[in-house]
Amino acid sequence: MSKNNQNNLTTKIVSLCKRRGIIFQNSEIYGGIQGFYDYGPIGSLMKNNWKNLWLRENIQKRDDVVLIDGSIITHPTVWQASGHVKNFADIMVECKSCHKRFRPDLIDNATKCPKCGGEFTEGKKYNILFETNVGVIESEKTHTYLRGEACQTIYLDFKNIIDSTRVKIPFGIAQIGKAFRNEITPKNFLYRTREFEQWDIQYFCHPTDMDKFYEYWKQNRMEWYQSLFNNKKDLRFRQHEKDELAFYAKKAFDIEYNAPWGWAEMEGIHWRSDYDLTQHQTFSKQDLSYRDPVTNEKYLPHIVETSGGVDRSFFFLLLDAYREETNEKGEIRISLKINPKVSAYKMAIFPLAANKPELVDKAINLYKSLKSKYSVDFDDSSNIGKKYRRHDEIGTPWCVVVDYQTLEDKTISIRDRDTMEQIRLPISQIDVWLANKLQ
């Protein structure tokens, strides 16, 4: 689909997601609440598959990255050390167009956005951290925050991981977890929400190795996304301008996706230096340094961060996968050309006719035999056309039909989602066939 035809693509995806149980507006029966979404039965399976691919790539296939699952609420001082409490409590204006926020005094009280010329919101005291209280006795409650970025938990656990595992620098700590930002303008479906998941790797190395590992992770993360998106040309790097860089960062790149509203950040590759560990060392008064077991050198490791949005990249994956084709009768076929590893179901199994017990029984048996190994669906409702339509729309890559020929020669037909071509295969070979396809 050309970009010109994509103007209402987001609307189409939102509608498809609701229609097929992928994603719903949270609290819809109460009119909804802006910036919060729920994954439905199909979407939950897809999102878990999406996260599992990341885990497989970054944990299972590697020897130098360990995983944590940190808590959402932390000691309140964490957010003072990280700078979030101070930085997010200033009077800021936000550009209505590119959503960059500025302190008016730092941009000579300009009335238009210096980045894109867009209009500003009113100046407000923005604190995008969600506040909460811990404890039940009114006078003894501790005022704290839901984490504004998942990575802080990694820095907090750094010392415990060094002390409790066999990791040696260079190594990474990875995490998939929720982050919360009280965004002023949630928009574009999952792109900017107030509750979302991040997948982060903080890669700890010697300061002299930063250039090497920065370039390594930058390429590694781009190649991973390229291997999963159909349209590689819709992915690019954007290097941050000098004035966008944090004072401790030598460089920063975003991996961007060519969204219907323009290029948009999907993941940031950040040069965090020793900033975070220094801050937590100062505020906690704990020694967070690392002693090299070979050279005995003691130093604060430097960090290359890869930080991406799980929901945001999942949304981009849906945009990339959405297809509409019109047949000779003028009917529109919608399909999600999504990587089979992300699809909720790898295969859907139907009997040709729902009122023929011999076909239904055979189809159920096949479904049961595959179910313990793969996520598969069985459907004996309505007509075959409707079943194909449903599975095309949720991105099921292969639909299997048990028909009269199956009763004679024990073969079934397999229809491919993208080409709609059908092949016949002996039932006994399906397991191996599917395993090969999903490798």
Chain residues binding ligand ATP by CB under 6 A are 149, 181, 183, 192-193, 196, 198, 265-268, 307-309, 311-312
Is the Cβ of residue 196 or residue 217 nearer to ligand ATP in the bound state? 196
- Shorter beta-carbon distance to ligand ATP: residue 316 or 367: 316
Measured at CB, which residue is nearest to ligand ATP?
309
Shortest Å distance, C-beta 378 to ligand ATP: 35
Query: At its nearest, how many Å lie between ligand ATP and the CB of residue 139?
Result: 34
Q: Which long-range contacts (CB under 8 A, 24 or more apart) does 112-121 make?
A: 119/95, 120/93, 120/94, 120/95, 120/96, 121/93, 121/94, 121/96, 121/184, 121/185
CA angle 313, 215, 253 (to 5 degrees): 45
Give least dist CB 352 to ligand ATP, A. 44
Q: Which is nearer to ligand ATP, 169 or 319 (CB)?
A: 319
- State in angstroms the smallest separation of the CB of 181 from ligand ATP: 5
Q: Closest CB to ligand ATP among 313 and 339?
A: 313
Q: Which two tokens stand for residue 9?
A: 């693509």
Give the C-alpha separation, 5 to 13, whole Å.
Answer: 14
Residue nearer to ligand ATP on the CB measure, 249 or 364: 249
Residue tagged 């309140």 (tokens): 76
Q: Which is nearer to ligand ATP, 51 or 323 (CB)?
A: 51
Angstrom distance (rounded) from CA 89 to CA 125: 6
- Cite the DSSP H helix spans in 82-184: 84-87, 151-164
Q: What angle do CA 319, 423, 21 make, to 5 degrees?
A: 35
Q: Which is nearer to ligand ATP, 91 or 98 (CB)?
A: 98
Shortest CB 153 distance to ligand ATP, Å:
14
Beta carbon of residue 135, minimum distance to ligand ATP (angstroms, whole number): 28
Q: What are phi and psi of 170, to 5 degrees?
A: -85, 140
Residue 387 to residues 34, 330, 377, 390, 405, Cα–Cα distance (Å): 33, 19, 11, 5, 20
The CB-of-2 to ligand ATP minimum distance in angstroms stands at 26
Q: Computed from CA positions of residues 29, 182, 310, 239, in that sequence, does the dihedral angle turn out positive or negative? A: positive
**One-letter amino acid of 399:** C
Beta carbon nearer to ligand ATP, 32 or 357: 32
Angstrom distance (rounded) from CA 121 to CA 97: 10
Q: Can you tell me the distance from the alpha carbon of 401 to that of 432, in angstroms, rounded to the nearest whole number?
A: 18
* Contact present, 257 and 296 (Cβ < 8 Å): no
Angle of the 41-55 helix axis to the 310-321 helix axis, nearest 10: 110
Least Å from the CB of residue 17 to ligand ATP: 16
Residue 169 structure tokens:
């620098």
Beta carbon nearer to ligand ATP, 281 or 306: 306
Least Å from the CB of residue 167 to ligand ATP: 24
User: Is 62 strand, coil or helix?
Assistant: coil
Q: How far is it, in rounded angstroms, from Cα 380 to Cα 356?
A: 10
